[in-house]
Structure 1
Amino acid sequence: MPFTISEIIVLFFTYSVVGWLWETFYCSIKDHHFAYRGFLFGPYCPVYGFAVTTILIATYRVQHSRILLFLVGIIVATVFEYVASLFLEKVFHMKLWDYSHLWGNLQGRVAPQISFFWGIGVVLLVRFIQPFIQRVINWEEAHTHGILALLVVLVMGTDTVLTIFSVRHFHTTTQQWEQCAVAYREKLKQRLATALPEEQPALAQRLANWHTDLVKWRAELRLRRLNWNERRLVKSFPKLKVLDAKHFNELKKDLMKRE
């Protein structure tokens, strides 16, 4: 093992924060508004921490070769991204990224273009960034003797538990909206089927814009409001999909305008 357990924890935390900073900066510029990225509450993206730490351990014996470093980096990063996507979908019923529009993608979870840039990133990371980060961690380990690693476990562990509760609440909320949307659409379809000819255009228009009406009448229908973290997830991840609430995915844009 090239790193101690304490070093692995601090490396994981460091690159989780670096990943959060990068995603927040990039997405804020791209979306023209501040995007508080990350799945957890705190300013870190564990997927980057897990990915980079795994890559550093897996590529430790091939660091002398840029080609091997590039190839191993592609393999490890691609497998990790696929597993992370599968985990989010199966456990939390959520899809945070979708590469379906890219050539050669696999179930929208990974794509050759993304994996290629992962490979380049791994070479840059291992050759130029990690040596500096490792010197900082060596200094920290010599002075704190693992205390920082313990704090990381406590803080991120607590954050993970709170996030699980928050995501479960979010799932319950989306199910309520989904059930109401299905009932509302079915009611409009039945009215349209029995309506007089002069009434049909107006009803057809309402059916086409059902999500606008549903959001407008949210209070009367006693539908749950999204809390801060739920609004953040929807706003910061425009491609977010709740896999068992397809109607919620259609109305979330209208919902965010009124939240």
Structure 2
Amino acid sequence: MARDMVVRISEGVRRQFAQERYLEAEYDRAYSLTSLILFFFSASTVGWLWEVFLHIFMDGALINRGTTWGPWLPIYGVGGVMTLVLLRKFADKPAHVFAFAYLGSGILEYTTGWALEQFRGVKYWDYSESLFNINGRVCLEVLALFAVGACFILYIAAPAMDNLYRKIPQTAKVVLCVVLITLFAADLVFSALYPKMGPGITMDVSETTKWIF
């Protein structure tokens, strides 16, 4: 009886250890270049869909949101890849991941908004009506959502998507990456020559509040 109990306890401990090791291995992994590229486009597309459906829900209008003409929002892809590249080393400390993601999201969104205003003279988003915002380019409460999203990416979404990417034959994966990069580069050039602007997409910088905090 005692021997059987010891065996059951040992087996339970072994399974628990194996499960913990499995969970650790799920997010504690090195992502290949092709996986990072595919994740960039996946995150960019999901971000674009989020913005489109959010606009439908809030304003009842179907609008191609974003800074380019393609079905992607690069800022989401950049943020997602930055999470995997820069924050994976802190994965065993979720509080650190959240804090760094909060700060990093703010820097990325602010600098991107500033650059678009300087080069195109318009705003693609504006948080001026929010209570806690900096120049309308970032909103402190929204950054908390981005930080939560970064944690979701690091611990759940990215490992699951990487598992799917690894099932794609290497040659096909490389070809897919090249095609996506080519299309994206063409979209960037076209968008630079013919910026996407209009109601629901952009607003004149002169018509927005410059500082509220």
Confirm or deny that 1:235 pairs with 2:188: no
The corresponding residue for 1:184 is: none
Secondary structure of the corresponding residue to residue 115 of structure 1: helix
Confirm or deny that 1:137 pairs with 2:165: yes
For structure 2, which runs of at least 5 residues remain unmatched after alignment? Answer: 1-28, 209-213
Secondary structure of the corresponding residue to residue 127 of structure 2: coil
Name the amino acid aligned to 1:236. Answer: G
Q: Report the RMSD for the aligned CA atoms in angstroms.
A: 2.1
The corresponding residue for 1:119 is: 147
Once residues 77 and 243 of structure 1 are traced to their aligned partners in structure 2, the CA distance between those partners, rounded to angstroms, is 22
Displacement of 1:2 after TM fit? 3.8
Displacement of 1:143 after TM fit? 5.1
Displacement of 1:33 after TM fit? 2.1
The corresponding residue for 2:67 is: 39
The corresponding residue for 2:124 is: 96
Secondary structure of the corresponding residue to residue 194 of structure 2: helix
Displacement of 1:236 after TM fit? 2.9
Displacement of 1:141 after TM fit? 5.5
Determine which structure has more spread, i.e. the larger CA radius of gyration: 1
Once residues 192 and 152 of structure 2 are traced to their aligned partners in structure 1, the CA distance between those partners, rounded to angstroms, is 34
The corresponding residue for 1:209 is: none
String of CA shifts for 1:56-78, please: whole Å, max 9, x gaps. 21111111222111111111111
Displacement of 1:150 after TM fit? 0.7
Displacement of 1:94 after TM fit? 1.4
The alignment's TM-score, normalised by the length of structure 1, stands at 0.64
Once residues 145 and 169 of structure 2 are traced to their aligned partners in structure 1, the CA distance between those partners, rounded to angstroms, is 32
The corresponding residue for 1:195 is: none
Displacement of 1:113 after TM fit? 0.6
Q: Is the 8 A contact 1:17 1:45 kept in 2?
A: yes
Q: Is the 8 A contact 2:122 2:205 kept in 1?
A: yes
Q: Is the 8 A contact 1:55 1:77 kept in 2?
A: no
Once residues 98 and 72 of structure 2 are traced to their aligned partners in structure 1, the CA distance between those partners, rounded to angstroms, is 25
Secondary structure of the corresponding residue to residue 188 of structure 2: helix
Aligned length: 180
Percent identity between the two aligned chains: 22
Name the amino acid aligned to 1:115. Answer: L
Secondary structure of the corresponding residue to residue 63 of structure 2: coil
Q: Is the 8 A contact 2:39 2:158 kept in 1?
A: no
String of CA shifts for 1:96-140, please: whole Å, max 9, x gaps. 111122233211111211111111121122222112111122223
Once residues 63 and 120 of structure 1 are traced to their aligned partners in structure 2, the CA distance between those partners, rounded to angstroms, is 14
Within the candidate set 141, 146, 150, 2:174 is matched to 146
Displacement of 1:7 after TM fit? 2.5
Name the amino acid aligned to 2:121. Answer: H
Q: Is the 8 A contact 1:7 1:141 kept in 2?
A: no
Once residues 118 and 43 of structure 2 are traced to their aligned partners in structure 1, the CA distance between those partners, rounded to angstroms, is 25
String of CA shifts for 1:12-48, please: whole Å, max 9, x gaps. 1111111111111121111112122222111111111
Q: Give runs of aligned pairs for residues 1-259 of structure 1, distance below 5 A.
A: 2-140=30-168, 142=170, 144-167=172-195, 233-237=197-201, 240-243=202-205
Q: Is the 8 A contact 2:67 2:124 kept in 1?
A: no
Displacement of 1:6 after TM fit? 2.6
**Cα 1:141–1:115, aligned 2, differ >3 Å: closer, same or farther?**
farther
Q: Is the 8 A contact 1:6 1:146 kept in 2?
A: yes
Once residues 173 and 190 of structure 2 are traced to their aligned partners in structure 1, the CA distance between those partners, rounded to angstroms, is 28
